[in-house]
Amino acid sequence: MSFMTYARRGIAVVLAFAGTLLASAGPSAGAGLYPTSARGTDISWPQCGSALPTVGGFGIVGVTNGRAFSQNPCLAAEYQWAGSASTSPSLYMNLNAAIGTTADNGASGPAGNCKRNDLSCWEYNYGWNAAQATFAYALTQGASAAVWWLDIETANSWRSKTALNRRTIQGATDALTSRGAQVGIYSAPYAWRTITGSWQNGMPVWYAGTAAITCQSASSFTGGTVWLVQQASASSGGNVGC
């Protein structure tokens, strides 16, 4: 897939600033989707071909197939499943650094045409282009959402320098906010610390995979408001709104 090349690096500064403001805008967008104690469910490509669970009060659907620049082949059907809830669906995408077969997608973008050794440029473009491609694919499947989550996990490929990983995440955040979405982070403290160096960017939090964590502000690893807690217990309903 080809992407528009931006000649002026100043554009990136404006977009990054705007994206930061939108990402830190507060809990209002999530309050209606994830009211306190509401229970909902998230699904993605691993559920393809399986009987889908009860959606609950809200549904969240993965658009990618585990990595950036991949596609969940069951998105259309799963988005329809999420639409049966009492609130509008949310979407999420997996993200990773510009490593491996898709790395060249970071060569150009809002940060400019990157020199091979300019990894900061490369990673910002990669994150931006990955999010734009994912957003575009979602639209082709009839899927749209006011809230998008970035799935940040150590199981995917990341740079050893956390500052570069932050550039990737910022690029993806700015791309989605440029499309009018509110963006939050799905992760857990260890993963976030390992990947970003405990970056305090103020973004909303979807706390990954534990029944022991509550919605209190002390649970936040970004410095932002905790909107969701994913609970590991099968009887918990999957996710609890904060």
Task: Tell me which residue of 96, 41, 46 sits closest to 73, measured CA to CA.
Answer: 46
> Dihedral, CA atoms, 204, 206, 207, 209, nearest 10 degrees?
-170
pTM for this structure?
Answer: 0.87
Interhelix angle for 189-196 vs 162-178, to 10°?
110
**Distance separating alpha carbons of residues 63 and 143, to the nearest angstrom:** 9
**Cα angle for residues 113, 119, 124 (degrees, 5° grid):** 70
pLDDT band at 35 (very low <50, low <70, confident <90, very high): confident
pLDDT band at 232 (very low <50, low <70, confident <90, very high): low
Q: Residue ranges per domain, the chain?
A: 10-241
pLDDT one-digit tens code per residue, 89-135: 999 999 999 999 999 999 999 999 999 999 999 999 999 999 999 99
pLDDT one-digit tens code per residue, 168-210: 999 999 999 999 999 999 999 999 999 999 999 999 999 997 6
pLDDT one-digit tens code per residue, 154-178: 999 999 999 999 999 999 999 999 9
| Terminal C-alpha separation, the chain | 38
Assign domain 10-241 to its CATH superfamily. Answer: Glycosidases (3.20.20.80)
